[in-house]
Amino acid sequence: MDADRVRRRGPLRFGVLGILMVVCCLGVAVAAVFLLRDEPEDAAVSGPSIVYGLTLNPSGFDPHIHSSSELGIPFYSVYDTLVYRHPQTMDFVPGLAAALPTMSEDGLTWTFTLKQNVTFHDGTPFNAEAVGANLDRIMNDEIGSRKARYLLGPYTGYEILDDTTIQINLSEPYAPLLDAFSQVYLGIASPTALQEYTKNTYQWHQVGTGPYKLTEFVPGDHLVLERNEDYTWGPVFYAPPDDGTLARIEFRFYEDPPTRSLALESGAVQVVGELLPTDVDDLAGTNQVRVFRVTVPGTPQQFFLNTSRAPLDDLNVRQALLYATNRTAIIDTVFHGESPVAYGPLASANPFYSADVVEGQYPYDTEYARSLLAGAGFADSDEDGVLDRDGVPLSLRMVFAPWNEMDGVAQLIQNQWADLGIELELVQVANFVELSDYASRGEYDLIALYDFGVDASIMNQYYETVGPSNWSHFSDPEVDEWLAEATRQASPDVRTGLYLSVQQRVMEQAVVLPIREYVDLVGASTRLDGVIFSAQGWWPLLYNFRDSP
């Protein structure tokens, strides 16, 4: 074997993210008439065109580097991945791989045989060298990869056996590897384009093998995808193209939530996600818009409790906060019943969710919450309406970002806890960078964060002692071992048992306050058929969308 074709990198063992979707739709309405946009005069591909509203303008769009789920909305269709999760069965199916890979008996080598006659949008041929170039880029420290590098877990390098065969090497068995290779963050980019552009400029000129090409990108304003007419190698769940296949999709930003339904009503956009629950109510009653309720698995919207800082280093106090929170009232008031109540560290759509373990724990019970706080030594000694212990008031700081109605959630919790004599300071930060800064300084008692993923190894980063997002500062050697072993085990039954134990321990220790399971309310013109989302939930399968006048 040619030694020059063997690359190795140091191991990095963490959890993995993925996502499961469940979609149902409700006919809702507005008075406006919806028409798909006329084909632009300078369009390179003939056919229908739509505008798709993005709800966040991420700090960066390069999936190898950045971690936003929003970037995948356009770029899941620009890139192909080696494998996919089928959006209906959740089974793995081939993508750029000709078949699912084979794994060695020791679990340390995965061999991928690749499809032939595949080309990137710039004409570069797809082959094993191209896959290797992408892996080299992701593992390059100078690139600063976030999620993509994390997803590779204990990856150590690769070996190219021939033009269509590549072996992926690991330092230990890693069950979530296929899930990792099914995500947009490990989409395969043209090695020619990666060399032509710098780390910072490539994101505006991205080149994949997918069903759509990036043809225009004006940062902060819009981006345009046009159909790849040469595309013949898609996964089994992509519909064959016909006259209704979208030829052009223009993405524009609608970061202010109230503007999204207005854009739908006016016809400025034909699809937009993260509608306000109140807007869904207002849209109901006509037949020009449908709302798709896309269930996103992974973690729920939740608050991590800082177990390293008094008074939340006391289990009784942490448990009291869970009993003192009326989650049903929060769901009804803030989300208008559009989301299920969350009970544990995983959403129920995750295949490893254990309802018997987490559901029924911590019902809303203010009297029991009071008794737990009294047992922890808190009383209103000066009769000012605030509990105190040794003269120190029970005053907590809650930090959250502005997404997903978290300000409304926080205000309701503040009111609920005030009735028990708990002072709650609310700190709303502007973005994830500021949220992470608070987390790194540890200047909080509760901090909000949620994530998405089909594979339950998503929990590793939050609950392993050395997890990169262990914002609760939770440390339990048994949990560490359960999480590590679950990523090494190939048996789904064994993994399920290990993750059951993790969920049980996390909730027994009141490490997290779950609020609601994430449901993305996506509005679309009734002119569109085939509106379906990836198994990961966030990302539309644009190649399946159809104009049906």
**What is the CATH number for 43?**
3.40.190.10
Q: What is the dihedral of CA 489, 490, 493, 498, to 10 degrees?
A: 20
> 161 and 68: one domain?
yes
Q: Looking at the structure, tell me whether residues 307 and 291 fall in a common domain.
A: no
- pLDDT computed for residue 357 by the predictor: 87
- C-alpha span between 131 and 114 (Å, rounded): 10
Whether residue 281 sits in one domain with residue 186: yes
In angstroms, rounded to a whole number, what is the distance separating the alpha carbons of residues 510 and 513?
A: 7
Identify whether residues 535 and 473 lie together within a single domain.
Answer: no
User: Among 192, 200, 230, which Cα is nearest to 212's?
Assistant: 230
Instruction: State whether 185 and 261 are in the same domain.
Output: yes
* Structural tokens at position 105: 């008996």
pLDDT digit string (tens) for the chain, length 549 residues: 333 333 333 333 333 333 333 333 333 333 333 334 444 445 567 889 999 999 988 889 999 999 899 999 999 999 999 999 999 999 999 999 999 999 999 999 999 999 999 999 999 999 999 999 999 999 999 999 989 999 999 999 999 999 999 999 999 999 999 999 999 999 999 999 999 999 999 999 999 999 999 999 999 999 999 999 999 999 999 999 999 999 999 999 999 999 999 999 999 999 999 999 989 888 876 678 999 999 998 999 999 999 999 999 999 999 999 999 999 999 999 999 999 999 999 999 898 999 988 998 999 999 999 999 999 999 999 999 999 999 999 999 999 998 889 999 999 999 999 999 999 999 999 988 899 999 999 999 999 999 988 999 999 999 999 999 999 999 999 999 999 999 999 999 999 999 999 999 999 999 999 999 999 999 999 999 999 999 999 999 999 999 987
Predicted local confidence at residue 239, as pLDDT:
95
**Could you tell me if 11 and 140 lie in one domain?**
yes
Tell me what pLDDT residue 12 has.
32
SS (H, E, C) 236-276: CCCCCCCCCECCEEEEEECCCCHHHHHHHHHCCCCEECCCC
What is the token pair recorded at 143? 């690139």
pLDDT of residue 28: 33
The torsion of the CA quartet 257, 338, 535, 11, rounded to 10 degrees, works out to 70
Q: What six digits make up the tokens of 128?
A: 């094993």
pLDDT of residue 23: 36
Residue 332 and residue 261 share a domain = no
Q: Identify whether residues 149 and 193 lie together within a single domain.
A: yes
Indicate whether 51 and 175 sit together in one domain: yes
Let me know whether 256 and 391 are in one domain.
no
Token pair 């999936």 is found at 63
Same domain assignment for residues 363 and 271: no
Q: 299 with 293: CB under 8 angstroms?
A: no
Q: What is the pLDDT of residue 431?
A: 87
Distances from the Cα of 252 to the Cα of 222, 261, 378, 403, angstroms: 5, 14, 52, 18
* Residue 241 bridge partners (DSSP): none
The sign of the CA dihedral 283, 289, 293, 296 is negative
Domain range for 264 is 3-295+520-547
Whether residues 415 and 448 fall in one domain = yes
Number of domains in the chain: 2
The predicted pLDDT at position 8 comes to 32
- What secondary structure letter does DSSP report for 193? H
CATH number at residue 369: 3.10.105.10
